Structure 1
Amino acid sequence: MRVSSLRSIISNAFYHEERTHCLERHLKFHIQTLPERLKIEKDNELESLKHFAMEYIHHVPDFLDALKQAAQKAGIENHVFPFLRIAEEYFISPPNLPNHHIGLMAMMDEAYLAHRLFEELNDRYISRVGMPLIPWDMTLANVVAHQLVGETLANELDSKVLHTVNKMMPNETSYESSDFKSFMKEEQGNTTPIWQEWPCLGKAAGIDWALT
C-alpha cells in the first residue's frame, strides 16, 4: 500500500487550493443545488461545505489504514486489500474522466470513488456475514459528496465502482478461510474499537438529514 504517496498528493492539492480557491468557487455554486432532504445547521453554509469537503478528502488515507487493520483482524486481507489498492490508484493514477475539475475539486472526485468503494465493500460484507466490517453509516457523507461532485459525474463514478466490485467479488474465497471462520467464532466480528474515534463526516461539518 502507498498511503504516504496518497497523503503527499492530497497535501499538494491543498496547497493548490490556497492559491486558487477553485474548490471554494465550486462550492459557492453548489450551495443552492443541495436537495431539500439535506440541511446545513451552521450559520456559514460555505464554511460547512468547505470543512466537509476537506475532511472527506483527508479521511481517505486514514480510512485505508483503518480498513487495513479491520481486514487483518478479520483475517480477510486477500479479499479486502485488492480493493484498497484500487482506492489508492484512484488518487495516484486517476481514471480519465470528462470534467474540468482540478486541484482539490479533482480530489473530491477521487475521494468520492474511494468512499463509494468502501461503502460497496462494506455492504457486500454485511450481506455475506450479517454484520458490518465498517460499523458506521457512510450514506450521509456520500450523498453530500454526490451533490458536490455533480449528478452526472457522480453517477458515472458510481457506475465505475459497481463495475469494479461486481467484477472482483465473484472470485473471492476469503470468507471460507479458516482464519475468517475463527474470527467470526471467537470475536464475533468485533472490529468496532478500530472505528470508535471516527465521526460521521456530514454531521461533524454541520450537515444532516432534514426532518420530514
Structure 2
Amino acid sequence: MSLAAVYEIINQAKAAELKTQNYAKWLRQQLDSLHRVIELNGSQPVEDLIHFVIDYIELAPRLVECVAHCAAASRTEKLFAPFIEKTIHYFAHPSVLVLRHTGLDCLLIMAYQSHRLVEEVYENNRSLRNSPICDLQATQANLLAHHLIGEPFANELDQATHLTVRQMVSLPDFYHLDLSPFLVKTNTKRWRPLNEDWLNLLDKHHIRMSFQPRC
C-alpha cells in the first residue's frame, strides 16, 4: 500500500464520521470520565477532541513522508526503510484486534501505533532523542491518544511497539549510531510545517495535559 492509499482511507473515515457522527457521540459519552490530566478549555470540547483526533491521524502519513524524504536525502534509506514499511503496514494490514474497531476509532489506533513506533525509534537512538525533533508536545499528544484508546488495550499496543523496535534494531548498537546526517536534513522547509503542527497540536484544539496535582 502507498501513502496515497493511506490518505484515501483517512478521507473515507472522515467522510463517514461527518455523516454518522458515531465517534462524536461516543466522545460525548466519555467527557465526564476522561483522565483528570486532560483539560478541555474550549467551548466545544467534543468538536475539539474530534479535530484533535483527525489531525493526529493525518500526521501519521505526513510524518512517514518526511522521514522517508530525509532518509533518502541523507542516504540512510536502508536504516529507516523497515520502520517506514511497518508504519504503512499498520494501516494496510491492521491486526484482528484493531479491526474490532471502526471509523475514526480504528484509525486512531493505527495512527497511535505509527506515532509510538517513531517515538520509540527516537528514544532508542542518542542522536535522535537529544534533538529538537523529539519534543515533549509529541509525547503529550501520544498520551492523549493513549487515554482515548483506553487501557488495557493501549498498554498492549505499547508493549507490542517495544517488542517491534527490539526486533528491528540491535540494541545498544542502534542507540550509539550517529544519525546526525539524517538530523541535518530535518532542518528544512519540508520538515518545519510538520514540526510546528506537532508543537501546536494540543493548543490548537484548546487541550492541555496538566500533570500538576489538583486541590
* TM-score normalised according to structure 1 size: 0.84
Contact 2:120–2:165 under 8 Å retained in 1: yes
Paired residue total? 205
Bigger drift between 7-16 and 105-114 goes to: 7-16
Q: Indicate the larger mover: 143-152 or 96-105.
A: 96-105
Alignment of 1:28-43 (within 5 A): 28-43=28-43
Q: Which residue of 2 aligns with 1:132?
A: 131
SS in 2 for 1:115: helix
- Tell me the CA shift for residue 208 of structure 1: 1.6
Residue range with higher mean Cα deviation, 74-83 or 107-116: 74-83
Superposed CA deviations along residues 42-81 of structure 1, whole A, max 9, x for unmatched, are: 1211111011011111111111111112323443221112
Deviations 1:152-182 (A, max 9, x none): 1111111111111011111887x769xx57x
Q: Which amino acid aligns with 1:192?
A: N
SS in 2 for 1:208: strand
Match of 1:47 in 2: 47
CA contact (8 A) 1:123 1:132 kept: no
Q: 1:133 to 1:122 in 2, by over 3 A?
A: farther
Q: Which residue of 2 aligns with 1:150?
A: 150
More moved, 11-20 vs 82-91: 11-20
Partner of 2:191: 195
The C-alpha deviation readout for 1:19-62, integer Å capped at 9, x for no partner, is: 22221122112222322222122121111101101111111111
Q: Which runs of 5+ in 1 are unaligned?
A: none
- Per-residue deviation, 1:99: 7.0
Q: Greater CA deviation, 192-201 or 49-58? A: 192-201
The SS at the match of 1:170 is coil
Indicate conservation of the 8 Å contact 2:70/2:185, yes or no: no
CA distance in 2, matches of 1:79, 1:33: 42
C-alpha contact (below 8 Å) 2:123/2:129 kept by paired residues = no
Instruction: Percent identity, please.
Output: 26
Does the aligned pair in 2 maintain the 1:133–1:191 contact within 8 Å? no
Q: Could you tell me whether the CA contact under 8 Å between 1:122 and 1:133 is conserved in 2?
A: no
Instruction: Classify the secondary structure of the residue corresponding to 2:208.
Output: strand
Distance 1:20 1:100, change over 3 A: farther
Which string of whole-angstrom CA distances, capped at 9 and with x for unpartnered residues, describes residues 72-109 of structure 1?
34432211121111111111111111774211111111
Which residue does 2:123 correspond to in 1? 123
Change (3 A) 1:104 1:145: same
Cα distance in 2 for partners of 1:134, 1:168 equals 21
Return the offset for 1:114: 0.7
Gaps of 5+ in 2: none
Higher mean displacement: 78-87 or 18-27? 18-27
Task: Report the AA paired with residue 156 of structure 1.
Answer: E
